[in-house]
Amino acid sequence: MKNTMKLFLAAAALTAAFGTAHAEDKPTIEIMSSWTSGGEAAALNVIKTEFEKRGGVWKDSSIAGFGAADAAFQNRIVAGDAPGAKQGVIGLAAADFVNQGLMNPIADLAAAGKWADALPKSIYDLISYNGEVYLAPTGAHGESWVFYSKEAFEKAGIADEPKSWDEFFAGLDKLKAAGIVPVAWGGQPWQQSKVFNMILLSQVGIDGFVKIYVDKDKGEASVEGVKKTLEILGKLRAYVDDGAAGRNWNDATAMVITGKAGVQFMGDWAKGEFTVAGKEAGKDYGCMIAPESSGMVYIADSIWFPKTGNAETDKAQKLLAEVVMDPAVQLEFSVKKGSVPMRSDVDKSKLDVCAKKGLELMTAGSIVPDQAIVLTPQQVGLLDDFVDEYWSSGSQDAASGAESFFAIFE
Partner 1 sequence: MHTKRKRNLSVTLALLPTWFAAVVVYIGTMFWSIRMSFTDSTLFPSSNYVGFAQYVKLFHSAKWLASLQNVLIFGVLYVSGCLVLGFLLAAALDRKIRFESAFRSIFLYPYAMSFVVTGLVWQWMLNPTLGIQASVRSLGWETFVLDWVVNRNMAIYALVLAGVWQGAGLVMVIALAGMRGIEAEQWKAARIDGIPVWRIYVSIILPQLGPALAAAGMLLAMGVIKTYDIVVAMTNGGPGNSTEVPAKFIMDNLFGRQNLGLATAGATMLVLGVVLAVAPFRYAMYLRSNRAKGAA
Binding site for partner 1 (CB under 8 A): 1, 5, 67, 70-71, 74-75, 96-97, 100, 187-189, 241-246, 376-378, 380-381, 385, 388-389, 391-394
**Nearest distance from C-beta of residue 269 to partner 1, angstroms:** 19
Tell me if residue 368 falls in helix, strand or coil: strand
**Residue 359: other Cβ atoms inside 10 A:** 19
Residue 381: partners with Cβ closer than 8 Å, 6 or more residues away: none
Residue 116: partners with Cβ closer than 8 Å, 6 or more residues away: 110, 124
Cα–Cα distance for residue pair 312/325, rounded to 1 Å: 20
**Nearest distance from C-beta of residue 309 to partner 1, angstroms:** 18
Question: Is 235 or 237 the residue whose CB approaches partner 1 more closely?
Answer: 237
Amino acid code (one letter) for 335: V
Cα–Cα distance for residue pair 332/345, rounded to 1 Å: 14
Question: Is 292 or 388 the residue whose CB approaches partner 1 more closely?
Answer: 388
**Nearest distance from C-beta of residue 71 to partner 1, angstroms:** 4
In the chain, how long is the greatest CA-to-CA distance? 68
Residue 290: partners with Cβ closer than 8 Å, 6 or more residues away: 144, 145, 146, 198, 199, 201, 202, 265
Sheet strands side by side (includes 285-289): 181-183, 261-266, 145-149, 285-289
Cα–Cα distance for residue pair 410/392, rounded to 1 Å: 23
Question: Is 175 or 380 the residue whose CB approaches partner 1 more closely?
Answer: 380
Question: Is 24 or 397 the residue whose CB approaches partner 1 more closely?
Answer: 397
Q: What would the 3-class secondary structure string for 89-131 be?
A: ECCHHHHHHHHCCCECCCHHHHHHCCHHHHCCHHHHHHCEECC
Question: Is 47 or 93 the residue whose CB approaches partner 1 more closely?
Answer: 93
**Nearest distance from C-beta of residue 264 to partner 1, angstroms:** 16
Cα–Cα distance for residue pair 115/379, rounded to 1 Å: 31
Question: Is 162 or 262 the residue whose CB approaches partner 1 more closely?
Answer: 262
Question: Is 3 or 349 the residue whose CB approaches partner 1 more closely?
Answer: 3
**Nearest distance from C-beta of residue 381 to partner 1, angstroms:** 4
Cα–Cα distance for residue pair 401/387, rounded to 1 Å: 9
**Nearest distance from C-beta of residue 185 to partner 1, angstroms:** 11
**Residue 157: other Cβ atoms inside 10 A:** 11
Question: Is 246 or 365 the residue whose CB approaches partner 1 more closely?
Answer: 246
**Nearest distance from C-beta of residue 220 to partner 1, angstroms:** 25
**Nearest distance from C-beta of residue 244 to partner 1, angstroms:** 7
